[in-house]
Each structure stands twice: as C-alpha cells, then as structure tokens.
Structure 1
Amino acid sequence: MGSSQRSTLSTTNVAEFVDGSPGRGELWAVDSLPVYVRELIAGGAAGAFAKTAVAPLERIKILLQTRTEGFHSLGVYQSLKKLFKNEGIRGFYRGNGASVLRIVPYAALHFMTYEEYRCWILNNYPSLGSGPSIDLLAGSAAGGTAVLCTYPLDLARTKLAYQVTGKRTSFGNGISIHTQTAYNGLKDVFMKVYKEGGVRGLYRGVGPTLVGILPYAGLKFYVYEELKRRVPEEHQKSVILRLSCGAVAGLFGQTFTYPLDVVRRQMQVQSMQSSTQGGGYSSTMEGLISITRNQGYRQLFAGLSINYMKIVPSVAIGFTAYDAMKTWLKVPPRQKSTSTG
C-alpha cells in the first residue's frame, strides 16, 4: 500500500541520518529489502530493547494488578526487595522471555501496520484529510492487529510472571514446605492452557485487551503526532523532543485505559487463583463492576504508578532504538513517510 511511496524518500533522506560514515555509499544486503520489511525489523528490535530494560517494573506491576499474596500491600521498593530475596536477579526477568517473544512481532506489526493503514486511509478516503484523526484511526487499527496476532504470548507472559516461587512456606505447627510453580516455561504454558481450554483458552482476556488497546493505541499516535505538529519545523528532528512527545502520549493514553488492563490481567490468571481471590469474569464490564464492588475502586488502578515509572524509559528506549535501527537499515524517518497525502 504505502511501501512504494516511502521507498521514494529513502534515497534523499537517509543520507542525513548516516552521519557521514565511510560506508554510506556502499550497497548493503538490506538495501534489497522492501521498506516495510526494514520497518518490521526496526520495530521488533526497538520493542525487545525497551521491554527488557523495564522488565523488573513490569513483573512488579503484574504482581500488584493480580493481587498476588504477599505483594499487593507492598510498595515498589519493598516488592523489588522481596522478589530479589526470594528469586534473585532471575526473578526480575521471570516471564521476560515470553514478553520479548511477544513484543518483537507486536512492536514490528504495530509500527509497520500503522504506516500501512495510514497510507491506505489517505489513498482511499482523501475526504478525511491528513490531520490527527487519521493517526487515531490508523493507530487503533494497528494496535488491534498486533494484539490479535500476538495475544497468546502475552497470556503466557502473564502466567509466568504471576507465579511466585518462595524458598519455603512455614505453618504454625513448624512444618515447612517448598512452593512449586504451575508452569515450567513458555512451551509448558501453551500445552497446559490449550489442553484445558483449547484455542479459546489461549485468548482468554482478549476482549478487555482489544477494548483497551484500540483507544490506547489510537490516542498514543494521535497525541504524539499532534504534539509534533505544534513544534517548529527546525526542532522536529530532535530526539529529545520525539521522546518527550512519545512519553506524554503514552502517559495520557495509559491513564484512560488502565482499568481495562487490570481486568485483562485478572482474567488471564483466573485459573491460577483460588476462589477466595475473586475472578470468574465472563466479560469486560462484569470484571469492572466486580473489581469495583469486591476489591474497591482503587484496585482498578493498582500498579498504575509503576506503569508511569516504566513507560517513560520504555518509550525513550523504544524510540531511540527504533531511530537507530532505521538509520542502520536506511529506512526513511517515519514521520516523513506518513505525512504525505
């Protein structure tokens, strides 16, 4: 759809971002790849770097969201300290392998399909113009596409991050036992979940995920592009500016859609919880009502402060890595390729 349109920009704009390196005029193997393939590679690498950098905060956020015993009443620092005591450094990255496996195709699809959807809308519905409303529509569609393609990996990541291993559990009579995990890796999660619920089990909680990602992804791109439009042209290439706009956009979108993320997490771990912990939601609305009634309104925002803490470095690292990969792969700047029409 928009690949040929973006390809015409590569020869004129890429040279500005190579910093005069000696190899600028040499032919790379990647030069033969279509622009959209290079966007997929750049987006996937950026997502992996960003996700790994904030993995410890992501793990704590999930433990707070799902009211994991021993963590729901602790703060961020105490939770990190307890996790390190029980599981060591590896505990900070439990489930990160599944998270990275999910985020690589997710981020790749999210960035690439956003540009493709935007070009498609501009080419087929010119009456809509080229303002931020196009970014809202394209961002929402891209978010939904990426979620549907990668959701089982997100489910596995949550289940792995939810289970907490302890060195031993003591009872009043002095008997101690070692705790055991329900899943022993990504493959084990897929096998057990599929055996219990089939394909529907692998997509448990996808409803609130889609309800949340459509406005979140749309708002994120909408706010990001709108903020950039209000900045003088001579400053629009600034990395600091780009990161600042992305951070504000992420914080804005996350605040409005965060309760849906809490419902999604609780639905994903229902099979691992006892009946006294709640659960059993059959829909997003039922989950919102039940959590508010039984756990309190504040539970809908459990872990939000951690999300704020992780989204700024995540966006910063993600955008920086994405720009670096686009330079290395000789991909024209995204905002230039999507501003046509």
Structure 2
Amino acid sequence: MGSSQESTFSSASAAAQVNASALDLLPVYAKELIAGGAAGAFAKTAVAPLERVKILLQTRTEGFQSLGILQSLRKLWQYEGVRGFYKGNGASVLRIVPYAALHYMTYEQYRCWILNNFAPSVGSGPVVDLLAGSAAGGTAVLCTYPLDLARTKLAYQVSNVRQPGSALGNSGQQQTYNGIKDVFKTVYKEGGARSLYRGVGPTLIGILPYAGLKFYIYEDLKSRVPEDYKKSVILKLSCGALAGLFGQTLTYPLDVVRRQMQVQSKQPQNSSDGFRIRGTFQGLLLIIRCQGWRQLFAGLSLNYVKVVPSVAIGFTTYDMMKTLLGVPPRERAHASGANK
C-alpha cells in the first residue's frame, strides 16, 4: 500500500517537473502573449452584457436611445434572452485574445527597446510606459481591427423587436449577419479589403492616447504603493480601475465616431439624421451638428460601469498570469531585454 502511494506521488512529482521544464523552455515573449491573451478573454467576457448595451446606445439603435442601462438589459432579455447579452461576444473574444496578447507583449517589448536605446533622453519613469503603451495599442489595433468591425456589426443587430427575424429599427429592410465569417464575406463584397478597416482612423487616434495613458497611470499608481502591499489583488484592481476610467473619459468621443462609422453602411441614408462620416474630425463635427454634443458621450456612464471591472480585471489577471508562468521581474527583463 505504502509503495503504491509512493509511486503515485513520484509520478505526480515527475509530471509537475516535466510541465515546469516545458514552461521554462518558452521564451519570455511567448509567456507574455499567453498572459495577455488570458487576461483579455477573461476581462472581456466578464463585461460582455454591458459592452452589448454600450454599442446599442452609441449607434443610436432604434428603441434604445432613451433607455438606461437596466432598462436596456431588461429589453435585451425580453427579446433575445441570455444569448442576447453575449451576441457578438464570440467575435469580441476572438479579437481580444490576439489583441490583448499583442498589446501586453508588445508593450513589454517596446518598453525594453525604449529603455535600452533612449533611456538618457526619456528617463525610466512613467513616460516610458506612456510611449510604449501607445505604440503597443496601435500595433494591436492594426493587427486585429477587422474582428472588432465584425463584433460591432453583430452586436448592432437586435432581433424580434418589430417582426420575427428582423433587425431592430428596420422592419425587415436591414441585412442581418449569421456570424463572423458572414460579416467578413459581406463587408468584403461591399468595398474590398479597405472596407474591413472602416473606422480604423478614429480607432488609432483614440487608442494611442488611451493605451498610453492606461499603462502610464497604472504603472505610476503601482509604483506609489508601499512594498508590503504590492502583491495585493485589491490594490491592483483599484489601480487598474482608475487607469481605465481616466483614459476612457478623455478618448470616449473618438470611440463613438468609430462605432458610427462601422455601422453607417447599415443605416438608411434618407433618415432625418442620415449622414456619412468620412473622417475622424469631420465625424466629430457632424455628430455635434446633427445629433448634439451629448451623443459624443452616449453610453459613457455605462462605459464607466464596464471599464472599472474590465481594465481592473485585465491588468490584475495579466500580473497574476505572469507570476504563474514565471515571467522574470521587470528589472531582470531590462537587463536581458536584448536577448528576449
């Protein structure tokens, strides 16, 4: 009996050693990719219902313009059930995993590169996080934008409100999509590969300051935490929440322009507020003139509710995953940055 238990324990120990050895073989950037992807998927799924409602408010979907958060959630439940809360979340997670993985990994790589090449000029403080975060955000957006477009188009359509099988506000005239692949095929037919990047201009203009500010604020707040509390999950969540709230407030109008650009091909051009957004600043002026300046902040209160858990969970999960995967501390990463 004793020998059997010893054999079992030995096998488990050997398996653990093999797994640890396999993990050690992964390069640091691969571990950062895994940690970033896991953080993004976990955070995005946690706030998927709020993200769906935010898109409906931003795009002025008929039947939702004057509703609050709870009323919108109740209406989605009434017409689409639980699945309605997660419509478009498949595309969202499919996008966020590579997006977050690239975002976090390239942030670490850009940060090391800046420190190794420009440390005397920019120093080693939060300014490095601002520059590295902005560059990482732009890189991740360019690589994954078509998936964000698909997510928005899927989340924009609401079924069963006027007629069974029709999209909201359309009386059956609006085209509906059956999935991510159908969105890509249809959008590509409409305008080629370029149409898959409709709205990427305001996205980049918005993500560069947002991503930079997010990392800047998060790392700056963490640096002010006493050493004894640096591993506290609650403090990491708090730092992440504040970073997300501040960054989103400054860049939110650009997100509204992006959403309206993404769905304007599905909206009737003869409606009273029909217009075509062709650029970021032109779009800001058009929305103010035709829909009022308040529309630039439509859904912002909901975004506050969404950003607090999303960014907080994302940063905290990323830090925890790095520890779990054995990513070396930042000081060691800097020293070996050229070898990554």
1:322 paired with 2:313, answer no
Among candidates 123, 126, 138, match of residue 129 of structure 1:
123
Task: Name the CA distance, whole Å, in 1 between partners of 2:230 and 2:318.
Answer: 16
- The equivalent position to 1:248 in structure 2, one of 242, 256, 272, is 242
Aligned equivalents of 1:278 and 1:287: distance in 2? Answer: 12
Structure of greater relative contact order (alpha carbons < 8 Å, 6+ residues apart)? 1
Q: Distance in 2 between matches of 1:262 and 1:46?
A: 25
Report % sequence identity.
73
Partner of 2:107: 114
Q: 1:297 to 1:336 in 2, by over 3 A?
A: farther
> How far apart are residue 316 of structure 1 and its match?
3.0
Distance 1:312 1:224 in 2: 13
- Classify the secondary structure of the residue corresponding to 2:309: helix
| 1:204 matched residue in structure 2 | 198
Cα distance, 1:237 vs structure 2: 2.1
> How far apart are residue 129 of structure 1 and its match?
1.0
TM-score w.r.t. the length of structure 2 is: 0.87
Aligned to 1:302: 298
Give the count of matched residue pairs.
315
Which has the larger displacement, 105-114 or 222-231? 222-231
| One-letter amino acid matched to 1:204 | R
Provide the residue aligned with 1:186 in structure 2: 180
Check the 8 A contact 2:256/2:297 in 1, yes or no: yes
Residues of 1 paired with 2:81 and 2:163: CA distance?
17
1:187 deviates by 0.1
Question: Which blocks of at least 5 consecutive residues in structure 2 are unaligned?
Answer: 1-11, 165-170
Alignment root-mean-square deviation, CA: 2.3
- How many Å separate the matches in 1 of 2:194 and 2:175? 23
Aligned equivalents of 1:227, 1:335: Cα separation in 2:
18
Greater Cα offset, 315-324 or 52-61: 315-324
Q: Unpaired segments of 5 or more residues in structure 1?
A: 1-20, 171-176
Q: 1:26 aligns with which of 17, 29, 45?
A: 17
Further displaced range: 129-138 or 330-339: 330-339
* C-alpha separation in 2, matches of 1:74 and 1:56: 15
Quote how far apart the aligned CAs of 1:333 are: 4.7
Displacement of 1:179 in angstroms is: 8.1
Q: Which residue of 2 aligns with 1:225?
A: 219
TM-aligned CA distance change 1:239 to 1:64, over 3 Å: same
Q: Which amino acid in 2 is paired with 1:134?
A: V
Quote the Cα distance in structure 2 between the aligned partners of 1:67 and 1:23: 58
Q: Distance in 2 between matches of 1:135 and 1:98?
A: 29
